[in-house]
Amino acid sequence: MACASTSASATWNMSSLRSAIPPIHARSASSVHLSTGPSSSRLKFSSSKLLHSFVGLAPLHPLLSLSSPDSTSFEHCFTVIDNGGRFFAMRHGKRVPKLNRPPDQRRALLRALTTQLLKHGRIKTTRARASAMRKYVDKMVTLAKDGSLHKRRQALGFIYEKEIVHALFAEVEERYGDRNGGYTRIIRTLPRRGDNAPMAYIELV
Amino acid sequence: MSRLMEPLSVGRVIGEVVDNFIPSVKLNVTYNSNKQVSNGHELMPAVITAKPRVEIGGEDMRAAYTLVMTDPDAPSPSDAYLREHLHWIVTDIPGTTDASFGREIVSYETPKPAIGIHRYVFILFKQRARHSVRPPASRDHFNTRSFAEENGLGLPVAAVYFNAQRETACRKR
C-alpha cells in the first residue's frame, strides 16, 4: 500500500511540479491556478499519506513496546541499564569505596566530611576518606555553580549546616567561576601515630 | 632541584606566597631544639609558642639575609580575606649563622590558628645591602611578593612551611 501511494504521488508530483513552476506567459496563469487547485489537495493527501507511513515505522508507545521482553519492567516505565540480572560473589570492577561501613553510615560520614571541608577549607583525614570525598565536594560545588532554587534545596539536603550552603552559593562564582571541575587538592602526609593510618590533607583548591 | 620544590608547589606555597625559584641556601628551622620543620608536616600549637632557631647556609658571613614568616591562610583557609598575616621578620642575618645574629624588625608573634588548618611559611631572601629592609605598616594583608619588590630582595633563596591547627580540634576521637 505504501509503495502504491508513493508511485501514485510520484506521478502526481511531477504534474503538480510542472504546474507549480512560475509561468512565463500571463494567460496560462489562470490555467495553472486551476490545475494546482485539485492537484495541490491531492498532493497534500499523498504527502500526508507519506507522513503517516513514516510515523508508522517509529514505535507507537514506549510502554507497550517494553512490556513484551522482560517481566521485571512492570515497575519501571523507562529502560534500566543493568548488568542483566547477573550477580557475582566477588567485587571485581566495582569502584564504590565502602570505607568499612554500612551504606547509611557511609553516606553520613561523607556528608559530614564534605560539610567540614566546606566549613574549614582544609581538613586532615585518612587517604581513603579524602579520595572518597572528592566526588561529593565537586558535586556540591557544581550545584552551587548552577545556583537555582532547586539546586540550593538539593544542597541543603546533603550538607548538614545551612549557613555553609548559603555561604557556598554566595561565593562560588568568584572562587570557581573559571575552573571546570577539580575543586579539591589532596596532599599526602605522615601516617597517624595511633594506628599508622596513611593520612592526607584535603583542601579546597 | 625539582624534588625539593615539589612539596612547596603541591602545597601551593609557590603560587600563592612566592613565585617559582631555585633554592640556593640551606634553611633549617627548629622549634624547642628537637622539632624540625619539614614541608607539610604538622606541629602542635604548644610547640610553636616561642621563636624557633633558624640556621641558614650560604657561603660567607658578609652576605646578609632576610627571613620572613607569614601565614597565607589568615583567618581561615576556606576564606582567607586577611591573606597573609605576618608573624616575624629578621634582617641582616650573616651567612652560615642563625637568626639570633640578625636584627628583628617585626617581633615574633605566636601563631594562633583559630579556624581550620593553617600553613606557616618561612621564606629566606638574600639582601643586596645591609639595612635596606624596612618593616611594613601592618601585619595583616601582607604580600610577600610586593614586600620583596619594595625592598629589592628579588626571588627567595629558600622556603619551608609547616601546618598547624587549634589544639582542641581533633579531640573527638
pLDDT tens digits for range A138-161: 999 999 999 999 999 999 999 999
Per-residue confidence (pLDDT) for residue A194, from 0 to 100: 93
pLDDT of B128 strictly over 80: yes
Per-residue pLDDT, A73: 47
- What are the chain A neighbours of B170 within 8 Å (beta carbons)? 124
The structure's pTM equals: 0.70
Does residue A120 belong to the interface with chain B, where contact is any CB pair within 8 Å? yes
User: How far apart (Å, rounded) are the C-alpha atoms in residues B166 and B111?
Assistant: 10
Question: Residue B84's pLDDT is what?
Answer: 84
Q: What mean pLDDT is reported for chain B?
A: 84
* Contact predicate B106/B91, CB 8 Å: no
B10–A201 C-beta distance less than 8 A: no
To the nearest whole Å, the CA of A175 is away from the closest chain B CA by: 10
For A107-164, give the DSSP string.
HHHHHHHHHHHHHHSEEEEEHHHHHHHHHHHHHHHHHHHH--HHHHHHHHHHSS-HHH
What is the pLDDT, as a whole number, of residue B80?
Answer: 81
Could you state, in chain order, the average pLDDT of each consecutive group of 10 residues for chain A (205 residues)? 46 65 53 44 45 49 48 53 81 92 96 95 94 95 95 96 95 92 92 94 91
* pLDDT at position A23: 61
**What integer pLDDT is reported at residue A164 of this predicted model?**
95
Residue-wise pLDDT tens digits, A110-144 = 999 999 999 999 999 999 999 999 999 999 999 99
Position B36 scores a pLDDT of 87
* Residue B140 confidence class, pLDDT cut points 50, 70, 90: confident
Phi, psi for residue A34 in degrees, rounded to 5: -65, -45
pLDDT at B168 over 60: yes
Share of chain B above pLDDT 70, in %: 94
Q: Which helix H or strand E contains A35, and what residues bound it? A: helix A27-57
Closest approach of B148 to chain A, Cα-based (Å) = 26
Q: Measure CB to CB from residue B116 to each of A120, A185, A190 and give the nearest one.
A: A120
Give residue A3's pLDDT.
Answer: 44
d(C-alpha A148, C-alpha B53), whole Å:
53
Which amino acid, B95?
Answer: G
- When pLDDT is averaged across residues B135-149 and rounded to a whole number, the result is 86
Percent of chain B exceeding pLDDT 90 equals 6
Inter-residue contact A125 to A184 (CB < 8 Å): no
pLDDT at B129: 80
Q: What is the mean pLDDT of residues B18-24?
A: 85
A185 contacts on B by Cβ (under 8 Å): 10, 12
3-class DSSP state for residue A13? helix
| Residue among A120, A123, A187 minimizing CB distance to B40 | A187
The position carrying cell 597517624 is: A192
